[in-house]
Structure 1
């Protein structure tokens, strides 16, 4: 299996990746094909695919933010069972991020991720791909060390239609397992930066950020 980075929508592997995205994620979570041009060419956004026998069988997108010394996992896709794709992606991603942090003179502080909460919303089928089952994914991410950030979470739809998307938790994986809370300024500043590309913010999201900024720290809870 090969870990290959995609930096252009003309890459044949991107067509295969975008098809996979449409098969496993709901429409409001998938950016249109042509709108990927700028993100892929952005050196700060890292899109890698797992290639097995010429086919894209998994993928992950993430980014490193040197100003906060944290990363964000945008998505992880496991397209087939029985190939240890999840571990392959996680190991390669961590090695890449630790290299980026080292170049920044740091040891990575941690990584954010939005994690589906099937206990609140059960209509995620992810194209029927069993390893993508949200109950399975949630437990795997818990094993990796992700913890729920203790606040009610919504995010703006990637359709940029001003709708609030629910059914997810915003989570953080501290590299130091002894970390039990993080500054709310880190969470709020990060979310404002992350979603700056979407001008149509739902009022629920705006209020969520305002409420978050009233506190100094926020707890990390088990998932």
Structure 2
């Protein structure tokens, strides 16, 4: 497999990746094709695909925030089972984030990710077995992700102002002894991350306000 960065919607690999996204994710999680044009050119947004024999069989998007010392995995897609795609994407992403941190002269404390709650997520993810939310949640737990202890929602990527639930905001701490995160870090991250979506629901603003009233947010196993 090859690990290839995509930086234009005119790249044929982008078309294949976007089709894969539409296959495995619900509509509210997928930004429309044409609306990718500007963000995919942003040098801080890293979109890579796993390519096998000319086909996109997996993909991941991530970014690193040197001022906050955290990374974010926007998504990870495993398009086929029994090919080691998940590990391939994870290892290449780890190496690239380490490079970005070194170039910025910083040392990251961990990585955020949104993880589907299999109890509330009524979706079949295109029937791709590795994308099953029970499977993904157990794998991410083994890696070291833990759930931030608050009811989480996010604005819909359909940009209709609706609140999307059924996910947890999680964090992979590089210090395994860390049991909580400063609430100021969580609110700063979410505010920055969702600045691309101006039409946010009131419930999202209420969530941010509620988080800000606490000093810390606990990291809980799942």
- Which residue matches 2:182? 183
**Superposed displacement of residue 220, structure 1:** 0.4
For residues 146-197 of structure 1, the C-alpha deviation after alignment (integer angstroms, 9 at most, x for no partner) is 1000111000011111111000000000111111111000000110111111
CA RMSD after TM alignment: 0.7
Distance in 2 separating the partners of 1:19 and 1:122? 21
Inter-CA distance 157–122: structure 2 relative to 1 (3 Å threshold): closer
- Give the TM-score normalised by the residue count of structure 2: 0.98
**Superposed displacement of residue 107, structure 1:** 2.2
Q: Is the 8 A contact 2:109 2:174 kept in 1?
A: yes
- Give the TM-score normalised by the residue count of structure 1: 0.98
Runs of 4+ in 1 over 4 A off after TM superposition: none
- Which residue matches 2:136? 137
The answer to whether the aligner puts 1:150 opposite 2:152 as a matched pair is no
For residues 99-132 of structure 1, the C-alpha deviation after alignment (integer angstroms, 9 at most, x for no partner) is 111112222210000000012x141200111110
The DSSP-based 3-state class of the residue aligned with 1:195 is helix
Q: Is the 8 A contact 2:121 2:167 kept in 1?
A: no
Q: Is the 8 A contact 2:152 2:169 kept in 1?
A: yes
- Which residue matches 1:46? 46
For residues 74-123 of structure 1, the C-alpha deviation after alignment (integer angstroms, 9 at most, x for no partner) is 0000000010000000000001001111112222210000000012x141
For residues 41-71 of structure 1, the C-alpha deviation after alignment (integer angstroms, 9 at most, x for no partner) is 0000000000011100000000001111110
Range with bigger deviation, 106-115 or 166-175: 106-115
**Superposed displacement of residue 33, structure 1:** 0.5
Identify unmatched segments of 5+ residues in structure 2: none
**Superposed displacement of residue 72, structure 1:** 0.5
Distance in 2 separating the partners of 1:182 and 1:123? 30
For residues 15-57 of structure 1, the C-alpha deviation after alignment (integer angstroms, 9 at most, x for no partner) is 0000000000001110000100111100000000000111000
- Which residue matches 2:168? 169
Q: After the TM superposition, which residues 43-192 of structure 1 pair with which residues of structure 2 at under 5 Å, given as runs? A: 43-119=43-119, 121-192=120-191
Distance in 1 separating the partners of 2:188 and 2:64? 15
Identify unmatched segments of 5+ residues in structure 1: none
- Which residue matches 1:197? 196
The DSSP-based 3-state class of the residue aligned with 1:10 is coil
Aligned residues: 222
The DSSP-based 3-state class of the residue aligned with 2:195 is coil
Q: Is the 8 A contact 2:66 2:108 kept in 1?
A: no
The DSSP-based 3-state class of the residue aligned with 1:161 is coil
The answer to whether the aligner puts 1:24 opposite 2:30 as a matched pair is no
The DSSP-based 3-state class of the residue aligned with 1:112 is strand
